[in-house]
Structure 1
């Protein structure tokens, strides 16, 4: 079956759950502040999903990959306090909203920030990640943005290889302080390389130590 790619898709409730599950399975550790229950986190992700900042790949009517974007004040996941409170209770919901808000990455006005590429395990190695990145780059061009930026774990050699092949260049890496410590690399793809100025690492407001590449 040839997978089909959709930008800003109209998703059924079942497909929203599938997209949330695929995303969670790739980035489960990022959502630890929300809940220790995977099922509960997937329900929250399903509620928070914003199709206007989402690219989805289908095999038939089944979601096999999803990518999130953030630009012009909107992002793939928007956690409302009412949704968090409904699933976690008001106190835990407020705490989770504060924590997830603190972890959100900052960005420049002319920048598209990739909120993650997630491919269902059984569909990896088929060029789907490349298709997602190509679509995101085309969106950045059509929206008149200057750069696409993403972060990747320093030890994820497969992802680093893909991003380099797709024209992304390493700008700096940062070490996150919470235990266990994490090292991530910030990479950028300039829409107009001849006029683009690299992002200053001081504008990347992650907690931790930042080092120029």
Structure 2
């Protein structure tokens, strides 16, 4: 336990709707034009978020405070199929949203844990929860025998990038969104990685 919360695998199933709300609050800025309206976005997220690929920060009273999702070759936290999108938005709405969301998709590879979002409830920020979740993600990768952890940070999120740099992540490349910056609300994203030390 650290300062009134614990980090654990998955997230409490009875707080699935809270997990979806936290995800949406964190990423609304870049997803709203594609995944809105909000009620449909929340319904979709609530149906697809997979606790098997998440670590959560939970308060002593059981309240979900934050989540770190990840993606490996086996599956991902914020996945969902085209069928899931069509269920939430209808066939036409699901198809065009799927095409645009595919632009944001990042492929994983052997030996890599790919971050699939990290976010903390607004009222719980400043308590070290983000750092604790990131440390837990790095430890998860080490426990799984993976070699690297990778994430993307958008150019407008200096606070997050500073956290990642403090945790040992280094920039390895930068990708421009081109004309899609008007859709997603950012012009570029920096890919950052950290190498997982392993004892021989």
Q: TM-score normalised by the shorter chain: which range applies?
A: 0.7 to 0.9
User: Relative CO higher for 1 or 2, CA cutoff 8 Å, sep ≥ 6?
Assistant: 2
Deviation readout 1:81-101 (Å, 9 max, x if unpaired): 343223211221232233323
The equivalent of 1:2 in structure 2 is 4
- The 2-side partners of 1:179 and 1:159 are apart by 19
The equivalent of 2:175 in structure 1 is 174
Q: Name whichever of 3-12 and 41-50 sits farther off.
A: 3-12
SS at match of 1:74: coil
- The 2-side partners of 1:163 and 1:179 are apart by 23
The equivalent of 2:190 in structure 1 is 185
TM-score, structure 1 length as denominator?
0.82
The equivalent of 1:196 in structure 2 is none
Higher helix share: 2
SS at match of 2:98: helix
TM-superposed CA distance for 1:33, in Å, is 5.6
- The 1-side partners of 2:82 and 2:110 are apart by 26
SS at match of 2:114: strand
- The 1-side partners of 2:33 and 2:146 are apart by 32
Aligned length: 191
TM-superposed CA distance for 1:34, in Å, is 4.4
2:28 counterpart of 1:28: yes
TM-superposed CA distance for 1:109, in Å, is 1.6
2:157 counterpart of 1:162: no
Aligned ranges 1:97-136 → 2 under 5 Å: 97-136=98-137
Contact 1:31 1:41 (8 Å CA) reproduced: no
SS at match of 2:145: coil
User: After the TM superposition, which parts of structure 1 deviate over 6 Å for at least 4 consecutive aligned residues?
Assistant: none
Deviation readout 1:112-158 (Å, 9 max, x if unpaired): 11111111111111100010001100110011111001111234222
TM-score, structure 2 length as denominator?
0.87
Gaps of 5+ in 1: 194-213
Deviation readout 1:47-104 (Å, 9 max, x if unpaired): 0111110111122222111111001231101213343223211221232233323421
TM-superposed CA distance for 1:27, in Å, is 0.4
- The 1-side partners of 2:32 and 2:156 are apart by 21
TM-superposed CA distance for 1:10, in Å, is 4.5
Deviation readout 1:144-189 (Å, 9 max, x if unpaired): 1110011112342221221111111121222211233512211111
The equivalent of 1:55 in structure 2 is 55
